Amino acid sequence: MPGFPTYLFDLDGTLIDSIELIMASFRHTMRTHLGTVPPDAEWRAGFGRPLRSQLLRYARDPDQVAEMVATYRGHNRVHHDRLVQPYAGIHEVVGRLIDQGATLGVVTSKNRAATEHGLRHCGLDRFFAVLVTSDDTTEHKPGPAPVLEALTQLDASAERTVFIGDSPYDCLAGKAAGVSTAAALWGPFSRETLEPHAPDYWLECPEQILQLACS
């Protein structure tokens, strides 16, 4: 048996490398609606939060937020398959976990349509028993609701579940839900950024997921 019976994964920056696409869509949206592009670091700091809440701080009113969301998603759809790929080793790791009897789920701040497309494109859709997206809860990461929803759907105990993610929001959501947390350092956030959030495990590469042990 694997170390944990249940493994929850963030999507972007953890399972799939979509960072170039995210940044390109952000820059395109800012140029289209603001005529200028804020520093990349501002947008990267919000990785892990739902799109609308990220755009809200740039828009002048709710109508413009809706327009910006549409622009962002339109750009994202057109360029997705060219720019997105699974992280090296992810296929092998999730396949091994399934073979060992683990149950896997995805907990992401991305909407369901984009989540399903990303997993299909990367050949990962067959591995996950549940997807919890921004469409499925009213509260989002860093709150615990998405993680708790995954536990409910899987009938899994928090004490025997680990949530693997790349962002501070993943660490915060996992801790608030009472699950173990593991920081994926192959994503866009540095160890220095994640250290204040005290994940239970540090992962330098996907293969180290197989070494996690239920404490």
Beta bridge partners of 180: 162
CA angle 202, 207, 209 (to 5 degrees): 50
Residue of 10, 12, 166, 170 with catalytic role: 10
The residue among 20, 30, 29 whose CA lies nearest residue 82 is: 20
The residue among 61, 29, 23 whose CA lies nearest residue 43 is: 23
DSSP class of 59 = -
Number of Cβ atoms within 10 Å of the Cβ of 38: 13
- CA–CA gap between residue 186 and residue 208 (Å, rounded): 11
CA angle 41, 53, 168 (to 5 degrees): 55
Instruction: Please confirm, yes or no, whether 10 is among the known catalytic residues.
Output: yes
Beta bridge partners of 106: 9, 131
Helix residue ranges per DSSP H, the chain: 19-34, 40-44, 51-56, 62-83, 90-99, 112-121, 145-154, 168-177, 191-194
Q: Show which residues are catalytic.
A: 10
